[in-house]
Amino acid sequence: MEYDRPKDRRHPAASDDASRRLLVSLGGDVEMATATAVPVRQSGMSLSVAMVAVVAAIGGGLFGYDTGVISGAILYIKREFPIDNATEGLIVSAVTAGALAAAMFAGVLADRGGRRVTNIAAGLVFATASLLCAVANSVPTLVAGRFLVGCGIGLTSVGGPMYIAEVAPPRVRGTLVSLFQLAVTVGILLAYIACAILAPVAAWRWMLGLAAIPGLLLAVGMLFMPESPRWLVRRGHRTDARAVLAQIEPHGDPDAAVAQMERDLAAEGHGSWGELLEPSLRPALLVGIGLAVFQQVTGINAVIYYAPQIFQAAGFTSDLTSLAATTGIGVINVLATFIAIWLVDRAGRRPLLIAGVLGMIATLGVLGLAFRANAGGTGTSSLAVITAFSLAAYIVSFAFSLGPIVWLMISEIYPLRNRAQAMAVSTASNWGANFLVSLSFPLMASRLGSSATSFTYAAFGVVTLIFIIAQVPETKGKTLEEISRLWR
Ligand code: BGC
């Protein structure tokens, strides 16, 4: 299918005409006449595609912010509500439980209601949940608010990448879906910064409540975005799908694109949940679930959630230096994601994944050795420096590989009919593994020690590498329909 490749270089007037086409908005079958001309950038990516990616990525920002903010907020929540360790764990992990539950529900919503509706729902849930946390005057209300925040994260982690992937042209799909991960990393960094700024006044309610603003922005912004053309075709709204394609790909051939999507849909199954168990979907599901789980069991959130403690174990004894080092990790995480944005559609997914996971294995190995040498806290300052550098290099390796590419690949490898369900299952596996790693890390670190814990994550890294080399296909530059045909 060639709609995305600019073969048909029509006169600008023709693309102007195309971009004035009816914007499919509410629910996908109401055509709203608008006279919005959509300028086409030199790169061949229309402004509306860029807007779609940016607005949907706000959900990624909230995902990052809400997972990062609790580490600072919990210190002050504990001062206001006298809570034991178990309740503290509940407040922190309620988000993960909500994300896990809502990821499955997001599959149903994205399938029945549409990709756009899923993102609007995510924004509304984020806004409501953040306000609930901000005004909570009892622990159960706070736990409920945090669970609801998790639901927003579950909805956006399925709805965001899937929506961007289905709207983006293949040549820039990797870059655009990686924007979602960039937003996750920016969200984490903003959470560290918000906590640092609000800590002197112990304003935990503001820390949690601030997320209501981007939540509303996401919901309102998505109202103005078009529905995914692929979902429209799947629901039989051919004319609407054609109008969206003409809007987002003014140089393409929307008729050919729609016809190709219809042919592919006809060759796929019926789109039921039961089909996920069928042999034809197995290879794709294995790759999607495998990548989602390996992203977590290689230890990323042990670092993201527990960085200050890790730095203290490495010899950065003062609160200030360990917090400064943690903010440094946040900045590096953001910056290194740009490597993926730049290379993912040029070098491809596999080379970045392989290089990144190799880097993670090496840095975890060095970390393991450094922690062993520093056992008992008697190490030298050069050991602390080696630890800090290894952690930074580990984050860089993750940020250009497993970080963005997992969300990208689980949004692009599944056939259209089962995409929403399969992505929901993969995302839920990601959150399940996230939950287990964040729960087990403190236990592993105290029972096995930091050194053995690092070696354990390195061992998972080796398994991840073998899995990628043996199972993960290259999807660079292919249309979503071409990728589906790979499995058939
Ligand atoms: C992962 C998160 C992680 C974040 C760190 C995301 O891709 O899914 O679990 O906290 O990257 O940047």
Q: Ligand 1: does its nearest atom lie under 6 Å from the Cβ of 427? A: no
Nearest CA to ligand 1 atom 3: 301
The count of residues in the chain is: 488
> Cα(14) to centroid of ligand 1, in Å?
42
Q: Which atom of ligand 1 is nearest to the CA of 296?
A: 9
Pocket test for ligand 1, best of 153, 181, 339 (most atoms within 8 A of CB): 181
Condensed to tens digits (0 to 9), the pLDDT of residues 250-272 reads 888 999 999 999 998 888 877 88
Q: Which one of 304, 305, 410 would you pick to mutate in the ligand 1 pocket, going by the greatest count of ligand atoms within 8 A of its CB?
A: 304
Residue 235 is predicted with a pLDDT of: 94
**CB 429 less than 6 A from any atom of ligand 1:** no
Q: Please spell the DSSP secondary structure of 367-384, one letter per residue.
A: HHHHHHHTGGG---HHHH
Which two structure tokens, joined as six digits, stand for 11? Answer: 């006169």
184 Cβ below 6 A of ligand 1:
yes
Within 8 A by CB and 6+ apart from 436, the residues are 296
* 333 in contact with ligand 1, CB cutoff 6 A: yes
Coil, strand or helix at 46: strand
Q: 300 CB less than 6 Å from ligand 1?
A: yes
Q: What value does the CA radius of gyration of the chain take, rounded to a whole number of Å?
A: 23
Residue nearest atom 9 in ligand 1 by C-alpha distance: 301
CB distance 95 to ligand 1 below 6 Å: no
- Closest residue to atom 8 of ligand 1, CA basis: 403
3-state DSSP assignment of residue 31:
strand
> What digits encode the pLDDT tens for the residues 281-299?
999 999 999 999 999 999 9
Task: Tell the residue nearest (CA) to atom 2 of ligand 1.
Answer: 301
Q: Quick one: pLDDT band at residue 142, thresholds 50, 70, 90?
A: very high
Distance between CA atoms of residues 421 and 272, nearest Å = 8
Calpha distance 414→420 (Å, rounded): 9
Question: Distance from the CA of 184 to the center of ligand 1, in angstroms?
Answer: 7
Q: Tens of pLDDT along 72-121?
A: 888 899 999 988 888 888 898 899 999 999 999 999 999 999 999 999 99
Model confidence over 156-181: pLDDT tens digits? 999 999 999 999 999 999 999 999 99
CB of 98 sitting under 6 A from ligand 1: no
Q: Is the CB of 301 under 6 A from ligand 1?
A: yes
Average pLDDT over residues 444-457: 93
Q: pLDDT tens digits for 455-488? A: 999 999 999 999 999 999 999 999 999 999 888 7
Ligand 1 atom showing the smallest separation from residue 181 Cα: 7
Is the pTM higher than 0.85? The answer reads: yes
Which residue pairs from 136-141 have beta carbons closer than 8 angstroms and sit at least 24 positions apart in sequence? 138/81, 139/81, 139/83, 139/87, 139/91
Ligand 1 proximity of 426 Cβ (cutoff 6 Å)? no
pLDDT tens digits, 124-134 = 999 999 999 99
List, in order, residues 6 or more apart from 279 with CB less than 8 Å away: none
pLDDT digits (tens, 9 = 90+) for 367-411: 999 989 877 666 667 888 898 899 999 999 999 999 999 999 999
